[in-house]
Amino acid sequence: EDKTVIRYPSADLEGDAQRVAKSLGIEFSSVKKSTDVSGVTLIVGADWREGDTYKAAEEDDTLPDTADALSGDKKKCMHVNSAFTF
């Protein structure tokens, strides 16, 4: 899913779904009634970046500091044979 949502199956669980949203910092507009779920269901979307409290991804889509991404560090990069460089 692109966006984080909370789904609930019936009107009697709407309040519970809203409490989950409030406790996680999720906007109430992301709380939706759905017959595809059997209880209050949190669907974590790509906009939930990290941590245990929701914070939508900003326009800047860089990797978080906690990502273990390879950089230009020569110790981590594969050697390229000079015969194959342009």
Residue 12 has pLDDT above 80, yes or no: yes
Q: Is 51 left (phi over 0), alpha (psi -120 to 50) or beta?
A: left
Beta bridge partners of 8: 33
81 or 71, which is more confident?
A: 81
pLDDT at 36: 95
DSSP string, 27-53: -GGGEEE-TT-SS-EEE--TTB-SSSS
Residue 62 has pLDDT above 70, yes or no: no
Please report how many Cα atoms fall inside a 13 Å half-sphere around the Cα of residue 56, on the Cβ side: 9
Across the chain, mean pLDDT equals 78
3-class secondary structure, 80: coil
* Domain regions of the chain by residue span: 1-50
Interval 28-49: pLDDT, tens? 999 999 999 999 999 988 887 7
